[in-house]
Structure 1
Amino acid sequence: MKPLILFLFLLSQISFAQVIHQISFDRFSHYDADDWITYAYSNHITSIDIGSENIYFGTSHGGILRYNFFDEEWLYPQTTSNGLHSNRIKRVVFDTATNQLFALTPKGVQVFNKAFEYWQNAGPELPARTINRPTENPGNTRFPALSRPILSSWPNFIVDDNYELMLDGLIYNPDNEEYRVGERIVDRWYKMWIATNGTGIGLADFDMVELKFIKQSTPAIHTKDVLVTADNIWVAGTPFKEKERGIARWNFEDDSWDYFKSGINFNIFSDDIRVIENIGSQIFFGTEQGLLQYNSKRDEWISLQKANPLKNDVIYDLDHLDGLLYIASENGAFKYDYKMLNMENVGKKFLHQTKVNKITNTSNNVYLATDRGIFEYNPQKDKTSLLDSHAAIADNFIDAIGANNDTLWFASQKGIGFYDITNGDWKSFPATNFRLNSKINDITFSDWYVWFATNKGLLKYDKERDYWYLYTKKDGLADNRVFNIDVDGDHLWLSTFKGVTLFRWYREGRFE
C-alpha cells in the first residue's frame, strides 16, 4: 500500500500542461523592428557605401553597421535579427536611383524594405554602385563625395592612438598587430571612411590631415555572458579569432568600446570566459583557468593566480551574497572575501573535488547544482546539506538553478522543476525534456515569467497561464544556443554562440 501512496503523491507533483509553443505568426508584423537587436563581431569591415542619411558598413560576422550623418550617432546594427539571411556581408550597395539599400550575403541578394523595416529577397544581382570620380588626387586633396580614392593619392595622415599606417596600406595597431585597409568612400563633408580587416573603421579628415580608428563591436568571441552596470556593458566568451579575442567594455556615455586581452595585459591570464559577476566596483570573470578580477575604481586588473586554490580550475558560475563571491568550479565550491583576500572551500566534506555546475542564492542560503543533486549552504552556520528532493523527476545531474522569492527552480537531464522553500512544495515538468530535448544552461526571472537559456533557444514559462513558449532564430535570436540571460528592465541580454541579442520581452499588447 505504501508504494502506491508514494506513487500517487509523486504523480500529484507533475504538471501535465507542457506543450511548448513556437512561432506561428508573421514575424515582421508581430515584432517591432527593434524588439530584437544583435551585436556581434564587426571589426572586420568587408564593404562600405553611403545612403541619403546613413553610411553602411558590411561586416564579416556582425551584419551591417549604420552611422547616421545628421544625428552623428551609431544606429543599432542590421542583422539576422532584422531579417538578413546571414550576418556575413560580402557587399553593401545603396542604389541612389531607387533610394534602397541592398546586401549580398552567402545566401543571396536582399533589399531593405524601409516602410516596414525588414529585409526581403531581391533579384539575383546587386545594382551598380554610384561612384563619383576622380579617385586620384584632385590637387587640393578634397576628393568629391562618393569617390573612392586610391591609396597612392592619400595625403600623409597624422594617425592617432599609436596606430601606424604604411604606404602599402598595412596598419599596425597599438599592440603591433598587422591589418590592412580595404574599401573606402568619401562623404559629403569630405571625410573618408576606410574598411579594415579587423581593427574597425578608419575615419580620415582631409582638411586636418588626420586619421583615427573607430570600433563598434564585440570581440571575436562566442559570447558566454554579459554584465550590465550603470555605466557599461561587459561582454566576454570563448575566442574564435586569435588577434581579436578578449573582454570588451561598452561605455554608454560616449558609445565607445574598450578591449582587454591576455598577452597585452599581463594580469589577464585567460581570454576564455564563462561568466561575469560584480560586487560594487569589483568585476569578476570566471575563466577556463581560474578567477580574474577588475577594480573599476582604480582601472586595475588583479591577478588571482598566486596562492589560490582555484588556480587553473574551470569556473562554471559566480554569484554573491553579503559581500562575498561564491564560485562554482570543476573541483567544488568556494567563497571569496575580496577585501580580506581570503578564499575558502564551501561544503568541503560533501563537495570535495565535485563539479559544481551552477550556483544561486536566496536572502539566507546558497544553492549549488551538481551531478549529485542540489546542495544547500547556510553561511551563518557554515553548514552544507543535500536537499531531500520530492520532485517527480530525477534530482541528479542538475545543469541549471535559479532562485526567486524563496522559490528554487532547477533543470536536469530529465526536465524542469521548482521547490517552494517556504512551504516545502515541489512541482515538476518532466515532459519539457522530451519535447525540448536540450540542455538548459541558465535560469532567470522577470515580473511574470521564468526564462531558460537552452541549446535550442530561449524558453519562457508564463506562471499565470501555465504556458510555455520557445523563442528561436525564427523570432530573432542570433543563434539558438543561448548560454546566459541578463534581465535589464523590459529587455533581456542574451549571450548566444553568434553574438549578444537584446530582446524586448515586454511590449504592451504583444503576446507570444
Structure 2
Amino acid sequence: MELVSYRYHIIPILGIFSFNLLFSQYDPRFNPFDWITITETGAITSISEGYSYIYFGTEKGGVLRYHIYANEMDISLTMAQGLSSNVIQSVHFDFDTGILWIGTDTGLNYSHMREGGWTHIRKRDIGGRNLKIHQIGSTKNNLWLRSNNQYIKLDHVSGILISIMSFPDEENINWSASFSSERVMLPEPCDNYFMMDGWIYNNGYLIDPHGRDKFITVFYSSRYGDIWLGINDGVILKGDFHMETFYPIHFGLSDLNVSALLKSQDGFWIGGKSTPPQGITFYDHRQHYFKSHEFDININMSPQKIYSVLNVNNEFWFGGSMGILVYNEKKDFWR
C-alpha cells in the first residue's frame, strides 16, 4: 500500500493511501505534481544528470530527483506523473534534445517536459517482451539501449526503432550510469573523502552507521565535480569535491504497507503492517526529508505492525500488534 497524496488539499489535512489507485496514463485535469506517490525505493539502479536535476532510477520507487542548484531533493517521478511503472531499470537525460528517457520493466518512457506528458513505448515495439534495459545512452543523432547482449538503436526524438545490433555503429555514446552487481571501487581522490554520519568505506566495501554491510550499485561523477553513489538499500551518498566529504540522503518509506498516519507540526509520522515489520518513518513534506526508525537497529523498539499513532504531551504513541511504542522527539528516545 503506497502513500498517495493530493498536494494542495490533502497533505495539509491528513494524507490518503490506497491500493493501486493511480494508473500510468496522465490525467490532463491535473498538473504533473497535483498527485504524488510516496513509497519505498529499493536499490538505486541508474543515475543521469540533466539541466537542473540529478535523476536516480530506483528498484521500486520511480525516479528520484535532486535539484542541483537548490541542493535538495524534490518530488519524485512515479506513476502519479504518468510513468508506466515505478520499477526503473535505467534513466537517461539527453542534453541535445532535452528529453528525459526512462526504461521500466514495461518498456520505455520519454517526455520533453521531463515532469508530465509521458509517451510510452512497449517492449515488443523495440526489442521483444523479454527486453531488459540495462543502460541508456545518446549521441547527437540517435538514442541507444543496452540490453543483455545486444544494442538497440532508436530515433532520439520519437523513440522509433532503427536497428538492433551486437555492437554500436557509433562512437562517443554518452551513457547513463548503470547498475553494477560487482564491487565498485572508488577512484582517487574520492576514495579518501570523509564519510559523514558514521558511514565507512574501505577498498570497495561499505558499512552503514549501524554496522550493516551495504554495497554501491551505481557510481556517477557530475559535470560540476560532485560524486554520486547509489546504494543497494536506496540511500544516496553525495560526494562534495570542495569539502571532500560524502553525506547520506534518505528518501522513501520504511514500510510500504501503510496502516497509520499522523500529521504533526513538523511533518508526518507513518507506520505500516508489512511482514516482517520494517519500521516507522518521519516525513517532512516541506523539505522532502525522510528519517527512518527501523526496528532492527533500535533496541527499545520491538518489531511489530503499527495500527495507530497519537500525539500525547509532546510524545508520539504508536499502537501496534504487540503493544505501545512511545517516542520522545526532543530526546530522540524510544521506550
TM-score, length of structure 1 as denominator length: 0.47
1:111 deviation in Å? 0.7
Q: How does 1:125-274 map to 2 (within 5 A)?
A: 128-129=137-138, 151-155=185-189, 156-168=192-204, 170-239=205-274, 245-251=278-284, 255-274=288-307
Name the SS for the 2:324 alignment partner. Answer: strand
Question: Quick one: structure 1 residues 101 and 147, their matched pair in 2 at CA, closer, same or farther if it must change by over 3 Å?
Answer: closer
* CA distance in structure 1 between the partners assigned to 2:60 and 2:275 by the alignment: 11
1:45 deviation in Å? 0.8
Is the 2:75–2:288 Cα contact (8 Å) retained in structure 1? no
Q: Does residue 1:62 correspond to 2:64, yes or no?
A: no
* CA distance in structure 2 between the partners assigned to 1:193 and 1:229 by the alignment: 32
1:301 deviation in Å? 1.4
Name the SS for the 1:128 alignment partner. Answer: strand
1:43 deviation in Å? 5.2
Question: Quick one: structure 1 residues 97 and 269, their matched pair in 2 at CA, closer, same or farther if it must change by over 3 Å?
Answer: same
Aligned residues: 262
* CA distance in structure 2 between the partners assigned to 1:208 and 1:160 by the alignment: 11
* CA distance in structure 2 between the partners assigned to 1:199 and 1:59 by the alignment: 7
1:259 deviation in Å? 1.8
Q: How does 1:342-421 map to 2 (within 5 A)?
A: none
Deviations 1:344-395 (A, max 9, x none): xxxxxxxxxxxxxxxxxxxxxxxxxxxxxxxxxxxxxxxxxxxxxxxxxxxx
Question: Quick one: structure 1 residues 176 and 48, their matched pair in 2 at CA, closer, same or farther if it must change by over 3 Å?
Answer: same
State the partner residue of 2:43: 44
Name the SS for the 1:81 alignment partner. Answer: helix
Amino acid of the structure 2 residue aligned with 1:124: I
1:171 deviation in Å? 1.4
Percentage of matched positions with identical amino acids: 26
State the partner residue of 1:9: none
Is the 2:81–2:115 Cα contact (8 Å) retained in structure 1? no
Name the SS for the 1:90 alignment partner. Answer: strand
Q: 1:124 aligns with which of 116, 123, 126?
A: 126
Is the 1:43–1:196 Cα contact (8 Å) retained in structure 2? no
* CA distance in structure 1 between the partners assigned to 2:237 and 2:188 by the alignment: 13
1:51 deviation in Å? 0.9
* CA distance in structure 1 between the partners assigned to 2:106 and 2:247 by the alignment: 34
Is the 1:220–1:241 Cα contact (8 Å) retained in structure 2? no
State the partner residue of 1:505: none
Q: Which runs of 5+ in 1 are unaligned?
A: 1-21, 131-144, 303-512
State the partner residue of 1:282: 315
State the partner residue of 2:330: 297
Is the 1:44–1:198 Cα contact (8 Å) retained in structure 2? yes
* CA distance in structure 1 between the partners assigned to 2:176 and 2:49 by the alignment: 11
* CA distance in structure 1 between the partners assigned to 2:175 and 2:242 by the alignment: 17
* CA distance in structure 1 between the partners assigned to 2:86 and 2:316 by the alignment: 31
1:254 deviation in Å? 5.2
* CA distance in structure 2 between the partners assigned to 1:172 and 1:288 by the alignment: 32
State the partner residue of 1:106: 105
1:148 deviation in Å? 6.5
1:189 deviation in Å? 1.9
Structure index of larger Rg: 1
Question: Quick one: structure 1 residues 197 and 113, their matched pair in 2 at CA, closer, same or farther if it must change by over 3 Å?
Answer: same
* CA distance in structure 2 between the partners assigned to 1:86 and 1:253 by the alignment: 26
Question: Quick one: structure 1 residues 269 and 260, their matched pair in 2 at CA, closer, same or farther if it must change by over 3 Å?
Answer: same
Is the 1:285–1:293 Cα contact (8 Å) retained in structure 2? yes
* CA distance in structure 1 between the partners assigned to 2:248 and 2:73 by the alignment: 15
1:147 deviation in Å? 9.2
State the partner residue of 1:454: none
TM-score, length of structure 2 as denominator length: 0.70
Question: Quick one: structure 1 residues 32 and 91, their matched pair in 2 at CA, closer, same or farther if it must change by over 3 Å?
Answer: same
Question: Quick one: structure 1 residues 223 and 118, their matched pair in 2 at CA, closer, same or farther if it must change by over 3 Å?
Answer: farther
Question: Quick one: structure 1 residues 272 and 216, their matched pair in 2 at CA, closer, same or farther if it must change by over 3 Å?
Answer: same
Is the 1:224–1:238 Cα contact (8 Å) retained in structure 2? yes
* CA distance in structure 2 between the partners assigned to 1:40 and 1:166 by the alignment: 31
1:67 deviation in Å? 1.2
* CA distance in structure 1 between the partners assigned to 2:319 and 2:69 by the alignment: 42
Name the SS for the 2:295 alignment partner. Answer: coil
Question: Quick one: structure 1 residues 241 and 188, their matched pair in 2 at CA, closer, same or farther if it must change by over 3 Å?
Answer: farther
Deviations 1:286-309 (A, max 9, x none): 21111111122333212xxxxxxx
Question: Quick one: structure 1 residues 196 and 265, their matched pair in 2 at CA, closer, same or farther if it must change by over 3 Å?
Answer: same
Question: Quick one: structure 1 residues 146 and 65, their matched pair in 2 at CA, closer, same or farther if it must change by over 3 Å?
Answer: same
Name the SS for the 2:80 alignment partner. Answer: helix
* CA distance in structure 2 between the partners assigned to 1:63 and 1:148 by the alignment: 16
Is the 2:257–2:274 Cα contact (8 Å) retained in structure 1? yes
